[in-house]
Amino acid sequence: MLGVFNTIARRWQLQIATLANRIIFYTQRLPWLRGLISEQAYAAVRAKRTAGAVAVVLRIIAGLLESLLYFGVMIALPVVLWADEREAGERLQLFMHMYFCISVLMAGITSAKIMETNEVKYTAVRLMRIAPTRFMRAVLVYRYSTFFLYQWMALTVIAGIFGISALQALMLVVTVTMWRVGSEWLHLIMFRRSNIVLVKKTGIIVLVMLLTLAAAYLPLTTVDGVPLFGAKAFDQPLLIVLLLFFGVFTGYVLLKQTDFTAEVRAVTNHDDPLLNMEQMMADVQRKAVQANESDYGENPSPPYSSKEAAGRKKGYAYMHELFIARHNSLIRAPLRKRFAAIMVIGVMLVSSALLFAADHLDVNSLEQFLPLLILAMFHLTTGMHLCKVLFYHCDITLMRYHFYRKNAVQHFRLRLGWMLGMNVLIGAALASVLSVFLLILSEGVVHSILLPIWLLTLTLAVFFTVHHLLLYYLVQPYSTELNTKNPLFTLLNSLISVCFIVAMLLRLTPWTLASVVTTLSLAYLFSALPLVSKFAESRFSAK
């Protein structure tokens, strides 16, 4: 057993060294730190080992944080936000119910370490020739001991809000951990009996996720009829005892009696596309930005004579116009999809307004959901897709030319205007749909929330346009395979999610939220051009 842990530790070191190299590479490109980190940094093996030790500590903290975020954001936050007027007992029941739906039902069906396909498993078993059984036993011990510790600590912290004692928290987490060990065994048995790898059946997995998440979150809304069966299940001592015994028994079988060779070989086939995630993602990404050949044909090159040339656009405007004309389908498709999504949202909102308006829905109570607009606009604006199209079909070649990088401000300005136009249109469509919904709810009276909604959607359209395009010019996150490997880009992008959570927690009034977003958007907009002119020349390049 010790040998297996050593191998996993070595594999871990390799991953940490790769991460360290990536961080060195991108940090060298940061304007303030460029001079501090030399090329020799890659050779600092001892420093990397020290960094590795730090990374172990950070990984433990990250594991704990992940569990904290799970309990905090996925379960506690929605209860606190949307059920704060209910009694403490009912809130506790809601919490338990959601925990049961997600951790017991959803995770039990959708995740199984034994049947999972991943690169580490492939490398360890197929390339490093570690015995599958030894490897899987180590993985299971590591996975469920850390799972138990992180969840227990996280739940002890969060549970106080709902009046759950430390002992109760311990019992809950032990039960769930044991159930998860048992579910690993169930997945194994299913594979042995019917040759089905359930975690790979995408359709079933998605359906299960939708159903369990709906069962978890619907009791938070005003929709009646969803029983809190999760809370009831956790209240049954007999069931708890059964689950505990089941976990202990299956844990013993898995660790002492099971030969995992057939299962591990089944999920580490060389041809399995899941093993080569990067290649698969690159193919998918490329397909997503594949140009339509007919666009080239429909926009033949006008043979400019010197006379015709007099009236034509020049320089970057000329190139930009040709680019849009020849990638029309690629640019229009996401726009059409977004309008369709907004239409669907509109139809759903309007029908729910017509059906439930009188009994359940009140315009004033909708104010607390306003921060959802941040997430909605983040996903509805087309920035990231367009940046990929620009990168893959235009900039990947031109950014090798010094003049193109030097004149970055000129094409940035053109593209900003073009993307703003599209995203403002999307924002306006969403705001219109929401206006119709609110007008139905308020029976034709113009509610005071309407104006901040319009202001918020439009300024968010500006914010995200600038955000995506500016990050593209300053951080240029895409590699030639269209992968995003820049940790700085990921970090900056995840700040959006943090802002959303903060906005939710602060419970700002509609006007305050709209004013804050407007100020931020304008500041972002006006700082974009100076930033691009200062940094893009050195940063806007192909990796």
Q: Residue numbers of the site for other proteins (CB under 8 A)?
A: 291, 296, 301, 303-304, 309, 314-316, 318-319, 322-323, 326-327, 393-394, 397-398, 400, 402-404, 407, 410
Q: Are the C-beta atoms of 147 and 70 separated by less than 8 Å?
A: no
- In whole angstroms, how close is the CB of 75 to other proteins at the nearest point? 49
How far, in Å, CA of 105 to CA of 514, rounded?
39
- In whole angstroms, how close is the CB of 287 to other proteins at the nearest point? 17
How does 473-505 read in b/e, with b if 16+ C-beta sit within 10 Å?
bbbbbbbeebebebebbeebbeeeeebbeebbe
User: HEC string of 352-365?
Assistant: HHHHHCCCCCCHHH
Could you give the 3-state DSSP secondary structure of residue 334?
helix
Q: Whose Cβ is closer to other proteins: residue 272's or residue 295's? A: 295
- In whole angstroms, how close is the CB of 307 to other proteins at the nearest point? 13
Looking up tokens 């119910």 gives 97
Q: Whose Cβ is closer to other proteins: residue 242's or residue 324's? A: 324
Q: Whose Cβ is closer to other proteins: residue 121's or residue 405's? A: 405
- In whole angstroms, how close is the CB of 177 to other proteins at the nearest point? 54
Q: What are phi and psi of 484, to 5 degrees?
A: -105, 105
Start-to-end CA span in the chain (Å) = 42
- In whole angstroms, how close is the CB of 326 to other proteins at the nearest point? 5
Q: Are the C-beta atoms of 363 and 447 separated by less than 8 Å?
A: yes
Q: Whose Cβ is closer to other proteins: residue 357's or residue 399's? A: 399
Q: Whose Cβ is closer to other proteins: residue 189's or residue 309's? A: 309
- Crossing angle of the two packed helices 2-27 and 132-159, in degrees rounded to 10: 70
- In whole angstroms, how close is the CB of 290 to other proteins at the nearest point? 13
Looking up tokens 């109570």 gives 365
- In whole angstroms, how close is the CB of 45 to other proteins at the nearest point? 24
Q: Whose Cβ is closer to other proteins: residue 296's or residue 356's? A: 296
Angle at 185 between CA 122 and CA 270, to 5 degrees: 20
Q: Whose Cβ is closer to other proteins: residue 28's or residue 410's? A: 410
How does 295-320 read in b/e, with b if 16+ C-beta sit within 10 Å?
beeeeeeeeeeeeeeeeeeeebeebb
- In whole angstroms, how close is the CB of 36 to other proteins at the nearest point? 23
What CA–CA distances, in Å, run from 344 to 98, 322, 433? Answer: 27, 33, 10
Q: Whose Cβ is closer to other proteins: residue 39's or residue 443's? A: 39
Q: Whose Cβ is closer to other proteins: residue 302's or residue 530's? A: 302
How far, in Å, CA of 363 to CA of 342, rounded?
20
- In whole angstroms, how close is the CB of 390 to other proteins at the nearest point? 11
Count of all residues that appear for the chain in the document: 543
Looking up tokens 């700040």 gives 495
